[in-house]
Amino acid sequence: MRGLRSDMGRTRKRKLQLLPLHFAPSRRTAKAGAFTYGRTAKAGAFAYVVLALLALPIHTTLAQIKIGAVTCLTGALSTFGISSIQGAKLAEEDVNAAGGVLGQPIELIVEDNGSKAGEATTITRKFISQDKVVAILGDLTSSATMEGAPLAQAAKIPLLTPSATSVGITNIGDYIFRSCFIDSFTGKIMARFALDQLKAKQAIILTDVKQEYSVDLSDVIRQYFTENGGKISSAISYSSGDTDFRAQLTEVRIAHPDVVFLPGYYTEAALILRQSRQLEIACPFVGGEGWDSPALVEIAGKSADGNYYTNHFSAADPSPRVQEFVKTYRAKYHAVPDALAALWYDGARLLFQAVQRAGSTDSVKIRDALASTRDFDGVTGRISIDANRNASKPGVILKIENGEMKMVQEVTP
């Protein structure tokens, strides 16, 4: 910038000393000149904000039945968030194409919590007071749901999360529901599979201590495994974000377990599998639904073969229901649906169906309809909402063979 440069906190030099005095701008004008940019910027920012706020009421539509959907569309968890909202939107389309709910179209108001803490409360308040939604679909993660759920409960707006697995969520109140199974179920499936199918007597658990999901699952696995005759020879920990697990895996190699439980996310699981094969650890690894991602096989390569994990859903499931869903999803989004897309598709449809069964948009009736959901036919299985407002539904166990997930077993609760 020519002319007056302002250094922060330093005396401003006036460069125009060489000009004849009557041309030298007075201090006032100089200030005005220097501040024009700032003033314009300020005016612009102010106008923008005012416009943005005015835009709020512009958002009106003809749809009467509004349901708020909140997930992580940007930020670190954006890939999961986009999957989830695609599933939900597909459900919205399907339902509206079939005539809507209670004779009216459903509108999903989608908000993004940016994968940041603290956003979910603001968004929930917005849903409740601004958008006046009849129900809320969300959130993606347990911590975000823990933020928003108390507000929904206090305002008596039913909230359904299709993917948050932390046990404490549904304890918040009787308006909070969940359409996926919780960690205690997953852990049991994993332990039972290792005991029954893999005939494992001795196991090691590798826990991601930075993730509540992993810690919870590990506790459940340990409890079930030891109660049913197995022995956990050691519990080793790692942190999400680590890329080198050779120290922990050397310990595993020495211990020679029958099976290793790895209830973590695929980001680390992929590398752990790779490095374990490099260290010539031959036993199978058993994981939870956190493994579910094409990147697992991409990153781990051949090391992923011969391992197992539990999941809500398998796109390879030959049942016509699943295949039709996969086909429609593929046609719309040009990608194979993952478990999150399937879960949110089911969760959204379950919610819409509850509104239909409630016969009105009264929140008490919707809540009761949700609580009495039995044998809902979803792509992730038959879902019933139990007395604790969690979902009672089957899970699948997948084996990775030649880079593909093969369904080994379907486990009903």
Partner 1 sequence: MSRGPLSLMVGLVVCLGVSLFGENFIASNFAYYYDILITIGINIILATSLNLVNGYTGQFSLGHAGFMAIGAYASGSWSNHLDPVIFGVLGGPTNPLATNVGLFISMFFAGVLAAIAGFAVGVPSLRLKGDYLAIVTLGFGEIIRVAILNTDFLGASRGLSVIGSYTNLFWTFGSVVLCIYVVLGLVHSTYGRGFLTVRDDEVAAEAMGINTTKYKVLAFVVASFFAGVAGALYAHFKAFITPEGFNFFRSVDIVVIVILGGMGSTVGVTVAAVLLTILPEGLRALAHTQFVPPAYQGLLENRLILYSLLLITLMLTRPQGLFGDRTASKKRFVRSRETDG
Partner 2 sequence: MDRLLEAVQQLINGVSLGSIYALIALGYTMVYGVLRFINFAHGDIYMLGAYSGYLLAPLFAHFFKFGEFDTFTAQNALFILSGAGLIMVLSMAICAVIGVLIERIAYRPLRERPRLNVLITAIGVSLFLQNMTQYRLGADPKAFPQLIPVHVVEGLGTLTVLTSQLAIILATVILLIILRLVVMRTKIGLAMRALSLNPTACSIMGVNNDVVISFTFALGSALAAAAGILVSMDSPSINPLMGNLPGIKAFVAAVLGGIGNIPGAALGGLIIGILETLVIAIGFPQWRDGIAFAVLIVILLFKPAGILGRVEREKV
Summarize as ranges the residues that interact with partner 1 (CB under 8 A). Answer: 1, 6-12, 27, 31, 34-35, 37-38, 41-42, 45, 48-49, 51-53, 55-56, 58-59, 73-75, 109, 111-112, 114, 116-118, 121-122, 125-126, 128-130, 143, 146-147, 150, 155, 166, 168, 209-212, 215
Helix/strand/coil (H, E, C) string of 88-149? Answer: HHHHHHHHHHCCCECCECEEEEEEECCCCCCHHHHHHHHHHHHHCCCEEECCCCHHHHHHHH
Residues 279-308 touching partner 2, rule: CB under 8 A, are 279, 293, 295, 298-299, 301
Q: Which does residue 31 touch among partner 2, partner 1, none (CB within 5 to 8 A, set by kind)?
A: partner 1
Considering the rule CB under 8 A, would residue 47 count as an interface residue with partner 2? no
Considering the rule CB under 8 A, would residue 339 count as an interface residue with partner 2? no
Smallest gap from Cβ 123 to partner 1, in A, equals: 8
Sheet of strand 381-385: strand arrangement: 376-378, 381-385, 391-392
Q: Which does residue 47 touch among partner 2, partner 1, none (CB within 5 to 8 A, set by kind)?
A: none
78 within 8 A of 86, measured Cβ to Cβ: no
Q: Which is nearer to partner 2, 80 or 344 (CB)?
A: 80
Q: Which does residue 112 touch among partner 1, partner 2, none (CB within 5 to 8 A, set by kind)?
A: partner 1
Binding partner 2 (rule: CB under 8 A), the pick from 31, 156, 246, 327 is 246
Helix/strand/coil (H, E, C) string of 136-189? Answer: EECCCCHHHHHHHHHHHHHCCCCEEECCCCCHHHHHHCCCEEECCCCHHHHHHH
Considering the rule CB under 8 A, would residue 243 count as an interface residue with partner 2? yes
Angstrom distance (rounded) from CA 292 to CA 346: 18
Q: Closest Cα to residue 186, out of 220, 210, 140?
A: 220
Q: Which does residue 409 touch among partner 2, partner 1, none (CB within 5 to 8 A, set by kind)?
A: none
Smallest gap from Cβ 259 to partner 2, in A, equals: 22
Q: Which does residue 118 touch among partner 2, partner 1, none (CB within 5 to 8 A, set by kind)?
A: partner 1
Q: Which is nearer to partner 2, 5 or 132 (CB)?
A: 5
Residue reference for tokens 């910038």: 1
Angstrom distance (rounded) from CA 255 to CA 281: 10
Q: Which is nearer to partner 1, 169 or 397 (CB)?
A: 169
Smallest gap from Cβ 42 to partner 1, in A, equals: 6
Angstrom distance (rounded) from CA 290 to CA 387: 26
281 within 8 A of 239, measured Cβ to Cβ: no
Angstrom distance (rounded) from CA 288 to CA 214: 9
Smallest gap from Cβ 287 to partner 1, in A, equals: 18
Binding partner 2 (rule: CB under 8 A), the pick from 79, 171, 360, 372 is 79
Smallest gap from Cβ 339 to partner 2, in A, equals: 14
Q: Which does residue 226 touch among partner 1, partner 2, none (CB within 5 to 8 A, set by kind)?
A: none
Considering the rule CB under 8 A, would residue 15 count as an interface residue with partner 2? no
Count of alpha carbons within 13 angstroms of residue 337, beta-carbon side: 34
Considering the rule CB under 8 A, would residue 49 count as an interface residue with partner 2? no
Considering the rule CB under 8 A, would residue 228 count as an interface residue with partner 2? no
DSSP 285-340: EEE-GGG-SHHHHHHHGGGGTT-EEEES--TT---HHHHHHHHHHHHHHSS---HH
Considering the rule CB under 8 A, would residue 76 count as an interface residue with partner 2? yes
Q: Which is nearer to partner 2, 67 or 272 (CB)?
A: 272
Residues 251-270 touching partner 2, rule: CB under 8 A, are 267, 270
- C-alpha to C-alpha distances, 342 to 2, 195, 246, 338, nearest whole angstrom: 59, 29, 35, 6
Smallest gap from Cβ 372 to partner 1, in A, equals: 29
Tell me which stretch binds partner 2 (CB under 8 A): 31-39, 78-86, 174-182, 193-201.
78-86
210 within 8 A of 265, measured Cβ to Cβ: no
CB burial of residue 351 (10 Å; 0-12, 13-18, 19+): buried
Judged by the rule CB under 8 A, the positions of this chain that interact with partner 2 are 5, 7-10, 74-80, 115, 209, 237-239, 241-244, 246-248, 267, 270-271, 274, 278-279, 293, 295, 298-299, 301
